[in-house]
Amino acid sequence: MAKYKIIVNPTAGKGAAGRLIPQINEKLKNYGLGYDLVCTEHPWHAADLAQQAIVAGYETIVAVGGDGTANEVLNGIMIAKSAGLGSASMGILPVGRGNDLAYGMGIPVNLDASLATLAEGNKCWMDIGCISGGLYPQGRYFGNGVGIGFDTIVGFIAAELKLTGFAAYLVAALKTMILYYNSPLLEIQYDHQSLTQKCIMVSLMNGKRMGGGFMMAPQSKPNDGFLDLCIASHINQFQVLMLIPRFIKGTQKGHPAISFKQAAHINIQAIEGSLPVHADGETICTHGKEVTLKLLPRQIEFVTAYQESQ
């Protein structure tokens, strides 16, 4: 049977994924990869298809789409693994808006380069996170990261814009400064430590970036056994505006409002206010009160440009 199961979300990238199917087929055949390709038809379909592919014996499951499609495939692999149904490695052909999960997992965000990476077949074990709370009291897996506060609202607004890519997130960030400016009082418990303060934003990263170009945790590694926390305390709107270029460059470390932590287990409660939360760009809650995260070491082998030591 074919080795690869290619799962395409044809609506990803505002329809770009569907339009690219002939090109993907041609290049996969040129590389001589044995594969079957299927398109998703509804939300969570990619997760179901990934589980079915594992049961059928496919060795590598490839998500073709954006961060949402990749997150669903990742969840399907993890659900099948936890149920004892088997496992598979994962690849991504990133053709979505942000493509942050692919970037964080060392997969080139250029389609031709990601196809070449898939054909080369280098694999690296990666950590996977799990968040519980909001719409997912039973938990939902994530690969890249979780955002709480400002960046979550940015993602909500970006999804409504006609723009694509990083430009959508940049415009959304500017709009968020006007439409959303709230710093809830949070209690953050990380491993055996605790922090209570007002936060405009908390990013909990397994990868490096969010929003297609904001380097939330430039030093993060997706296989070091820790989530990297980037915590932004309450600042005014002008200070937020001044910080945006530093997040784009990944030079926010050292700013008095920014602190970094590392942990494998985190609990965050809103003592005052509420938590808008996303995981890999997928909504966890819009007005939550508490979320719990844990990092699971070395759960999925990704087809990646990384070397194992990274």
- For residue 272, give the CATH number of its domain: 2.60.200.40
Domain span at 228: 133-298
Which band of pLDDT confidence, cut at 50, 70 and 90, is reported for residue 309? very low
Mean pLDDT of the chain: 94
Burial string for 205-240 (b: 16+ CB within 10 Å, else e) reads bbbbbbbbbbbbbbebbbbeebbbbbbbbbbeeeeb
pLDDT band at residue 1 under the 50/70/90 scheme = low
Number of structural domains (the chain) is 2
For residue range 39-74, list pLDDT tens digits in order: 999 999 999 999 999 999 999 999 999 999 999 999
| The pLDDT of residue 181 is above 80 | no
53 and 163 assigned to the same domain: no
pTM of the model: 0.94
Is 36 part of any domain?
Answer: yes
Please check whether residue 126 lies inside any domain of the structure.
no
Model confidence at 165, in pLDDT bands (50, 70, 90)?
Answer: confident
- Nearest alpha-carbon partner for 288 in 140, 144, 161: 140
Residues 114 and 239 in one domain: no
Within a domain: 249:
yes
Which of 61, 95, 121 is at the close of a domain? Answer: 121
Residues 146 and 286 in one domain: yes
Residues 254 and 288 in one domain: yes
Same domain, 115 and 151: no
Stretch 174-182: mean pLDDT: 78
Those residues whose C-beta lies under 8 Å from the C-beta of residue 216, and which sit 6 or more positions away, are: 145, 147, 151, 203, 205, 208, 209, 210, 230, 247
| Residue 245: Cβ within 10 Å count | 10
